[in-house]
Amino acid sequence: AHIFKGANWSEREIYDMFGIFIINHPNLKRILMPDDWFGHPLLKTYPLKGDEFARWYEIDKIFGKEYREVVGEEQRDSGFADDKDTLNFARLYHEVPKGGQKKEISFKQEYQEDEGVAFVKKVKRDEAKILEKRR
């Protein structure tokens, strides 16, 4: 790091994400994760959805441990979508403002905008064919 000053940031990131200790680094401390974080997220041994500490980290920092039951644990599944949830913007094709009442109107989103794209045939969802088997 004393030869190439531009490497300082990368070396700190390597330490933070992988836990690799860089000898004689002038300021080797966490750069992306909080200072009190336990573990290094890019290690193969680190759990994909975090650990118990990761699940409650923000709730403990903001509200305190006594509010865990009131707030509930953080939803850490990136593929989760609940059609009845109006707080986390997960109502695909039925979006409402945060905390708003759900709409009973159901619609199917079209493949293209009404104006369309020049030289591209307009595809209507109602006219689509479902192939039972390949030729």
Across 18-42, average pLDDT = 89
Who wins on pLDDT, 101 or 24?
A: 24
- Check residue 89 and give its pLDDT: 57
The helix or strand, by DSSP H or E, that contains position 13, with its residue range, turns out to be helix 7-18
* Widest distance between CA atoms in the chain: 67
- Check residue 88 and give its pLDDT: 62
Q: Please list, in sequence order, all residues whose beta carbon lies within 8 angstroms of the beta carbon of residue 82, skipping any fewer than 6 positions away.
A: 88, 90, 91
The span from the CA of 47 to the CA of 52, in Å, is: 10
The span from the CA of 67 to the CA of 52, in Å, is: 16
47-92 pLDDT, tens per residue?
A: 776 667 777 888 888 888 898 888 887 776 666 666 666 666 556 6
